[in-house]
Structure 1
Amino acid sequence: MITIKTITTNDSHYPAMRELRNRILLRPIGLKDGAWEMQDEESWHFVALENDRVIGCAVLVPLQDKPKRAQLMQMAVDTNLQGKGVGKLIVTEMVSFASKNKFEEISCHSRDSAVDFYVKLGFEVYGEAFEEVGIPHRHMRIVL
């Protein structure tokens, strides 16, 4: 059974979460491990666990310049489990958490290849396409 847990950087699952992010998101595009951890301390971390093993994750970063808004970042699911609903469980829990905590909007920079995934979960595309870390992206958001 897969469970979703919200953790901090002090949690015992955090190192495994970091490893998953590095393996799935950063190393394949040539970025060094930890390249996107600059806001980890002030963020909420969501992990998908199966038999106490981290199989998926995402980070919810509060936007300091936009109260009541946050950004979904570093969404990763173990390669063997992609397309099996793990990401949907994580995002659903994140949206529920944000709603309960009176957030008004969650935004994200979606790789072009993931736009349909987010649209199915209620996100909308806005603004112009852009390139980030050498990959085409779209701005997306969900209003809560």
Structure 2
Amino acid sequence: MTDSEVRVVATDDEREDAFAVRKAVFVREQGVDEELEWDEYDDADSSAVHFVGYRDGEAVGAARLREYEPDVGKVERVAVLESVRSEGWGRRLMAALESEANERGFDRLVLHGQTSAEGFYHELGYETTSDVFDEAGIPHVEMEKRL
């Protein structure tokens, strides 16, 4: 049996694990410039909430939630290592993130999803609310979901 869980990041080690997943997926795999990947919401004193998924003690997924505007959260930096993408980690990360968003009183979530992941987010109840646009050299759409 595999030991798996998604945690809200609470320690420096967990933060480093989440960032390592993001670097593997966005920087190495997708070619996003590191200058674009890291921002002020990654600082330890930011109010953003980071999530990390572990399988048998290895970090395999990451995500971030922050307040976008009053009562609205923004889903960001959802990443799952390629080697475990068929194991439901995206769904687990989003379930944990949406649970946290509910606890924080958000009644709506927005995100900028890569067009390659648009179907995944549709399956989770998100609706596309924009035309395709470029973000970090990758086609994206804006999506939202009422909680």
Which residue of the partner structure matches residue 126 of structure 2?
123
Specify the SS of the correspondent of 2:12. coil
After superposition, the C-alpha distances for 1:14-67 in whole angstroms (9 at most, x for unaligned) are 11211110110123324126733321222001111122221101000211xx11
Q: Does 1:110 align with 2:90?
A: no
Question: Contact between 1:124 and 1:142, CA under 8 Å: does it hold in 2?
Answer: yes
**Shift in Å, 1:106:** 1.0
SS at match of 1:94: helix
- TM-score, with structure 2 as normaliser: 0.88
TM-score (norm 1): 0.90
8 Å CA contact 1:129–1:138 kept in 2: the answer is yes
* Cα distance in 1, alignment partners of residues 66 and 27 from structure 2: 18
Q: Is residue 54 of structure 1 aligned with residue 55 of structure 2?
A: no
Aligned residue for 1:142? 145
CA contact (8 A) 1:22 1:34 kept: no
C-alpha distance in 1, partners of 2:128/2:139?
13
Root mean square deviation, CA, Å:
1.6
Structure 1 pair 124–30 and aligned structure 2 pair: CA distance change class (3 A): closer
Tell me, in whole angstroms, the C-alpha distance in 1 between the residues paired with 2:82 and 2:24: 10
Greater mean deviation of Cα atoms: 37-46 or 101-110 = 37-46
Counterpart for residue 23 of structure 2: 22
Q: Which residue of 1 aligns with 2:48?
A: 43
Q: Tell me the residue number matched to 2:12.
A: 11
Q: Is the 8 A contact 1:106 1:143 kept in 2?
A: yes
2:83 corresponds to: 80
CA offsets 1:60-82 (integer angstroms, 9 cap, x no match): 0211xx11111111111111001
1:43 & 1:30 partners in 2: Cα distance?
21
Q: Is the Cα contact below 8 Å between 1:22 and 1:33 reproduced in 2?
A: no
In structure 1, runs of 5+ residues without a counterpart are none
Q: Which runs of 5+ in 2 are unaligned?
A: none
